[in-house]
């Protein structure tokens, strides 16, 4: 799901940073579900959570690094926040309720992107997530270390929001201060 939603934008984070040599607080009020136990709700909801979880874990080979627990947490959170039909409308799920695998990558509006970022950050350590993406993108280790050491929680959240919105301008604006601290001369 996220692997389909934003692979190019997340890779752009890595490329952008490489070319330029805790969880964030939730401001949208989204409380991600606990990743413990099995998904609750209808059989349809459970099926969607399972298929989104599998999609996120499968996307791990592309460098996203979701564990089973993290993937399930994100999937449950997306279903809780957006609903099954909302995910269909957004293009995350196809009409058969399977993770969409074709068509254009849907960009989220500002509210949806903030909610998606909050769900994601409630399930993964944002700095570690970005660190793994950068490391998988063949960025020099010194650059990876510098960027991660200079990332604040709000910057991590801003990067994810811009990524979910597919907004390269916002993504660059969020990262410019960090990149300025990490340029190599």
The tokens of 179 are what?
């990149």
Is 99 in a helix, a strand, or coil?
strand
Q: What is the pLDDT of residue 131?
A: 82
Neighbours of 117 (CB within 10 A): 27
Q: How many domains does the chain have?
A: 1
Taking the model in full, what pTM does it have? 0.74
Q: Would you say how long the chain is, in residues?
A: 185
Q: What is the pLDDT of residue 100?
A: 82
Q: What is the pLDDT of residue 122?
A: 96
Range of the domain at 139: 2-182
Please give the Cα distance from 30 to 80 (Å, whole number): 10
Within 8 A by CB and 6+ apart from 83, the residues are none
The tokens of 105 are what?
């990558």
Q: Over the stretch 32-76, which tens digit does the pLDDT of each residue have?
A: 444 333 445 689 999 999 999 998 888 754 556 688 999 999 999
Question: What long-range pairs does 23-29 form, CB within 8 A, spacing at least 24?
Answer: 23/121, 23/122, 23/125, 23/126, 23/153, 24/117, 24/118, 24/121, 24/126, 24/153, 24/154, 24/156, 24/157, 25/153, 26/118, 26/121, 26/122, 27/114, 27/118, 27/157, 28/111, 28/114, 28/115, 28/118
Residue 11 has pLDDT above 60, yes or no: no
Q: Over the stretch 131-158, which tens digit does the pLDDT of each residue have?
A: 877 777 777 888 888 888 889 999 999 9
Location of structure tokens 């660059």: 172
More confident residue, 109 or 185: 109
Please give the Cα distance from 176 to 178 (Å, whole number): 5
pLDDT-wise least confident of 15-19, 41-45, 97-101: 15-19
């Amino acid at each position: 799901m996220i692997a389909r939603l934003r692979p190019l934008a997340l890779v752009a984070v890595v490329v952008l940073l490489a070319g330029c040599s805790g969880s964030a607080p939730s401001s949208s009020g989204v409380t991600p579900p606990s990743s413990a136990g099995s998904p609750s709700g209808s059989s349809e909801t459970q099926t969607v959570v399972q298929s989104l979880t599998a999609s996120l874990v499968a996307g791990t080979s592309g460098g996203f690094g979701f564990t089973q627990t993290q993937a399930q947490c994100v999937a449950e959170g997306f279903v809780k926040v957006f609903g099954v039909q909302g995910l269909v409308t957004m293009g995350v799920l196809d009409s058969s309720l399977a993770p969409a695998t074709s068509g254009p990558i849907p960009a989220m509006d500002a509210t949806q992107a903030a909610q998606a970022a909050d769900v994601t950050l409630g399930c993964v350590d944002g700095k570690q997530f970005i660190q793994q993406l950068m490391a998988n993108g063949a960025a020099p280790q010194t650059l990876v270390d510098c960027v991660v050491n200079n990332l604040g929680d709000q910057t991590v959240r801003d990067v994810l929001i811009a990524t979910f919105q597919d907004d390269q301008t916002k993504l660059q604006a969020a990262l410019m201060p960090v990149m300025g601290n990490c340029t190599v001369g």
